[in-house]
Amino acid sequence: MARILIVDDEKKIRHILSIMLKLKGYHVQEAENGKQALMRLEKESFDVIITDLRMPEMDGFQLLEQVKSSDSPIPVIVITAYATIESAVEAMKKGAVDYITKPFEEEQIILAVEKAIGLSKIIQENIDLKRKLKKLSKNKEIVCVSAAMQQVMDLALKVASKADTTVLITGESGTGKEVVARFIHDNSPRKNGRFVALNCAAITDTLVESTLFGHEKGAFTGADRSKQGVFEYASGGTLFLDEIGDLPLEAQAKLLRALQEKTIQRVGGNESIPVDVRVICATNQDLEKLVERGDFRQDLYFRINVFPIHIPPLRERKEAIIPLAEFFVRKFLECDSSEQLMTDGAKRILKQYSWPGNIRELANTIERASILAGLPPITSEHLSFLQKQNLGPPQKGFKLPEEGINLEELEKDLIRQALEMTGKNQSAAAKLLGLTRSKFRTRLKQLEENN
């Protein structure tokens, strides 16, 4: 139950308030003036303070100022027998949540206290959030310098405590979806369990069901022993299904059943096996469009989209480019943050680039530049390769050279550049070229076979 501190130099008033509040189940402590109240606050924590204004040694205004300037501000309700418009305005300006005149009604006090307790919970949640984000920025590989990423991590922290809530993380390839998923796991009641990541796009259609749910011995050719799937292996922890949009329709139906029933059946088996796992899904595709085309089940989409988190691309949070780049410089060159990490010219090149591969591409770029530099600072010369990468759309007025163009060589060069720009991420490279991932992989394979 909430703890309340009553501050008043009149013993009778303290006694009346104490009885009122104790009858409602609150824990109550008393202080004769502001100075005594501060001494109590040093030793104990309270959710609400009720204070008189006129008191010896330290009055209510002085106490209010001290409380509001502390690291953990507590909601303060002011009561006074000398009510004036001026004192009411001053009290509210100094941060009082309510202003009540004596004599007061019990209902007035109880309603004011209930409102203050609600505010106290919000204040504490914000303090906890800031503390966790501060700790995160120091100890984890997440750089929260933009308002957009602060909002993302705020949502991630809120859902982390809900151990069973399914989360859908969306965003372009390379934005850090798995990093956010791991953060949710690390801050959840499941943090002592396994975090199991599975890229759905990397599994062949014939092995999807076995990978997810496992198989019994003899279930298919080559199944010489029983094997757990990722659902069983992650039980008690978190299962991260990346690129969920690439999951075949047949497997989608079985995934939906597993999520709803919290049980699975191995391939070739009849036993229903209970699983206790939180599922976090991620995709760089528009699932709503996939649903419209019939490539993704609508019921599964609703089931995994319980708590959506969208990570904006790096180009929409340009203020994060340099802090992220400096983070990677420190990581790859193992240098002190007090050193000059990059020259102004290098920073200018990084800011002007569009980053289609997002943070993954930025990390790969800085790693390459760090190898070239050897020691800080990274200069524009070390990033000259970035200036040469330009895969923009064909310019108007483009003319064919007289000797003609080898289309296969041109296509091969475009694919090579796309892979280089995106750190060899095929999904991002496909998107850059306006192709589906499957078409990109097919064309890449054909070009490799023709070499």
For the cut 70, the answer to whether the pLDDT of residue 118 exceeds it is: yes
**Fold of the 146-310 domain:** Rossmann fold (3.40.50)
Q: Are 116 and 98 in contact (CB under 8 A)?
A: yes
Q: Are 156 and 180 in contact (CB under 8 A)?
A: yes
What ranges do the domains of the chain cover? 3-125, 146-310, 315-388, 407-450
Two structure tokens written together for 308: 């959506």
| DSSP H or E stretch at residue 79 | strand 76-80
Q: Is 1.25.10 the CATH classification of the domain at 407-450?
A: no
Q: Beta 48-52 vs 263-264: how paired, if at all?
A: unpaired
Report the b/e string of 174-210 with b at 16+ CB within 10 A. Answer: bbbbbebbbbbbebbebeebebbbbebbebeeeebbb
What pTM was estimated for this model as a whole? 0.59
For the cut 50, the answer to whether the pLDDT of residue 137 exceeds it is: no
Give the CATH architecture of domain 3-125: 3-Layer(aba) Sandwich (3.40)
Q: Are 60 and 17 in contact (CB under 8 A)?
A: no
Q: Is 2.60.120.620 the CATH classification of the domain at 315-388?
A: no
- CA–CA gap between residue 122 and residue 410 (Å, rounded): 58
> Quick one: pLDDT band at residue 392, thresholds 50, 70, 90?
very low
| Per-residue pLDDT reduced to its tens digit, 290-323 | 999 999 999 999 999 999 999 999 999 889 999 9
- Per DSSP, 395 falls in state P
Smallest Cα–Cα separation from 319: which of 284, 356, 364, 350?
350
What pLDDT, on the 0 to 100 scale, is given for residue 142? Answer: 62
Asked if the domains at 3-125 and 146-310 fall in one CATH topology, the answer is yes
| Per-residue pLDDT reduced to its tens digit, 379-389 | 988 998 886 65
Q: Which residue carries 């300006």 as its tokens? A: 93
